[in-house]
Amino acid sequence: MHERLSFHIKRDSFLHSLNPLTKLVLTLALILIAFTFPYYWTPHILVLAAIIPLSLLGKVFREFSVTALRLIIPAAGFLFLMQAFFQPVGTDIIFKFYFLDMTMESVLFAFRNAMRVFVMVSAFTLFLVTTHPSELMSDLTRRGLPGQFAYVIISTLQILPQMQAKAQTIISAQRSRGLDTESSFLKRAGSLIPLIGPLVFGSLVEVEERAIAIEARGFTSKQVKTSLHEVPDTAFDQFLRWALLVFIIISIGLNLWLS
């Protein structure tokens, strides 16, 4: 019941010891540079020169490669195929299938876009693997993020696995009572109500109780709350954040200047 949705892997590494905000800025910097820097091979270079070294630095290379192979590469590959076939750019047709043409330009275009998506997803994965959600939220709250936002993020991560388990239970229960979930379209559409109903009503009834419970713990109190756990923020962290910010500005600036 108390399982929380989290990818965090506890390790003792340089990447783990960075301040959560620094890692967040690093993630955004990688994504923005991959999408805006006006040089064709930027996302490819970022993967080789930033993403892979960072995963080694965080001592999570093995876990990261497993995720990349299982989730990220199939998704990026699918996007690559869709775009390579469907982008109507270029004239130099290298492959033809029914009404679909694959041209040199569309392949190059698709390759870059797939790599951009790969950078985006893997940067986020690295961030999530090396940062504990509670640590991120307590650091951001200390910097002025309203406590309510922290509550929403953290409690969603807690509720989501419970809700998915509940949905699975309801599906099994209704199936065992003979609910049709795989025959004709109309039958399946009709099954929607007995599946959604119990799930939604059950969880909405809890709302008031939860509201009273957190209200009793000073949820809306304006007083500054003290934290038991201090998240370190070093001078190096601050330097890194400013440096990354400069990179982002240069990249976006070049993009606007050249277009």
Partner 1 sequence: MLDKIKSNFNTQTWVLIPIAIAINIAVGQIVLVLKLPVFLDSIGTVLVAVLCGPWAGALTGALSNVIWGIAIDPGALPWWPVAAMIGYMAGRMAGWGFFKSWWKVVVTGFVVALTAAIVSTPIAVYLFGGITASGSSFITAYLLQTGQGIWSAVVSTSFLTEPVDKITTAMIAFAIIQGLPKRTIGGYPKANQVATEGGASSTQLYIAIGVVVALVLFAAFMLRNILGG
Contacts with partner 1, residue ranges (CB under 8 A): 5, 35, 71-72, 75, 78-79, 82-83, 85-88, 99-100, 109, 113, 117, 120-121, 124-125, 128, 148, 151-153, 155-160, 162-164, 166-167, 171, 181-182, 185, 188-189, 191-192, 195-197, 199-201, 203-208, 210-211, 214-215, 219-220
The rounded radius of gyration (Å) of the Cα atoms in the chain is 24
Residue whose CB is less far from partner 1, 45 or 195:
195
Tell me if 35 sits within 8 A of 251, measured CB to CB: no
Shortest Å distance, C-beta 46 to partner 1? 16
Residue whose CB is less far from partner 1, 192 or 245:
192
Shortest Å distance, C-beta 235 to partner 1? 30
Shortest Å distance, C-beta 123 to partner 1? 10
Residue whose CB is less far from partner 1, 222 or 232:
222
Residue whose CB is less far from partner 1, 132 or 233:
132
Backbone phi, psi, residue 89, to 5°: -105, 155
Residue whose CB is less far from partner 1, 233 or 252:
252
Backbone phi, psi, residue 95, to 5°: -155, 135
Shortest Å distance, C-beta 216 to partner 1? 10
Residue whose CB is less far from partner 1, 146 or 236:
146
CA angle 46, 42, 244 (to 5 degrees): 60
DSSP string, 120-132: HHHHHHHHHHHS-
SS3 state of residue 103: strand
Shortest Å distance, C-beta 138 to partner 1? 18
Shortest Å distance, C-beta 60 to partner 1? 16
Helical residues (DSSP H) of the chain, grouped into ranges: 14-17, 20-36, 42-46, 52-57, 61-67, 73-86, 104-130, 133-142, 147-176, 185-215, 235-258
Shortest Å distance, C-beta 242 to partner 1? 25
Cα distances (Å, whole numbers) of residue 156 to 4, 71, 159, 216: 9, 22, 5, 20
Tell me if 119 sits within 8 A of 42, measured CB to CB: no
* Phi/psi-derived region of residue 49, left when phi > 0, alpha when psi is between -120 and 50, beta in every other case: alpha
